[in-house]
Chains A and B, each alone.
Chain A
Amino acid sequence: KNEVEQSPQNLTAQEGEFITINCSYSVGISALHWLQQHPGGGIVSLFMLSSGKKKHGRLIATINIQEKHSSLHITASHPRDSAVYICAVRPLTGNQFYFGTGTSLTVIP
């Protein structure tokens, strides 16, 4: 049983398209993270959310605590956005994060 589910698993988009990646989780959380993993393997933290919405450039992340759901949106997608996007949640108890399996995004020029 995976506490974090992401959809879709794979996503291919044309440059300029609006992209949505979804994350659902089953436990009460204190924080949710969206991470970006580049083809070389390194991971960068994009957002940390505990409520509402955050925006950074073309990236927008939202969370609905009651529905246990978060979305990551990319506006005006670009080939350099191609990466694996990972959702991670921190449960209310304990010191661990639980990770989704990731969404592999490919943006075609």
Chain B
Amino acid sequence: DGGITQSPKYLFRKEGQNVTLSCEQNLNHDAMYWYRQDPGQGLRLIYYSQIVNDFQKGDIAEGYSVSREKKESFPLTVTSAQKNPTAFYLCASSIDPGQGRVPQHFGDGTRLSIL
């Protein structure tokens, strides 16, 4: 079955440590997104990528980095510069971000906590 796979499901980070969250899709979608979800807030966009080797900052990109070397993969690194990384992170994809009417598919999320 086609879908989005995020790993790990739970992740713990020590102070000063970088961690990388994995997101893989086999839907052949061009666009991929990373969102952060905090209690009582809507999903907020961290980074998005419309095509391989290209990505743009979202609303809350500070302290995060991404890469898009392959169409299927869009890993997110939470750097030590992100002072409040504890949150639920969701990866999503869509066929073509330019059309504006294509539903996004979501992964099951990674819950990151600080030790």
Contact = CB atoms under 8 A, between A and B. Distances in A.
Q: Specify whether A and B are partners.
A: yes
A85 interface: no
A52 to B, nearest CB: 14
B87 to A, nearest CB: 11
A20 to B, nearest CB: 20
A98 B104 CA distance: 13
B71 to A, nearest CB: 17
B40 A101 contact: yes
Interface in B43-69: 43-45, 48, 50, 58-59
Contacts, number: 60
Interface stretch (B11-19, B20-28, B76-84, B107-115): B107-115
A27 interface: no
B42 A95 contact: no
Interface residues of A, number: 26
B41 A101 contact: yes
Contact of A95 (B41, B43, B90, B97): B97
Interface size range of chain B in the complex: 20 to 34
Contacts of B105: 45
Interface string B84-114: 0000101010000110111111111101000
A95 to B, nearest CB: 4
Contacts of A57: none
A25 to B, nearest CB: 12
A100 B42 contact: yes
Given A42-B108, A42-B109, A95-B98, 8 more contacts: A33-B104, A35-B106, A88-B43, A95-B50, A96-B58, A97-B104, A99-B42, A99-B44
26 contacts: A4-B42, A30-B100, A33-B104, A40-B108, A42-B108, A42-B109, A45-B104, A48-B101, A48-B102, A48-B103, A50-B101, A86-B42, A88-B43, A90-B100, A95-B31, A95-B48, A96-B45, A96-B48, A96-B58, A97-B43, A97-B45, A99-B35, A99-B43, A99-B44, A101-B40, A101-B41
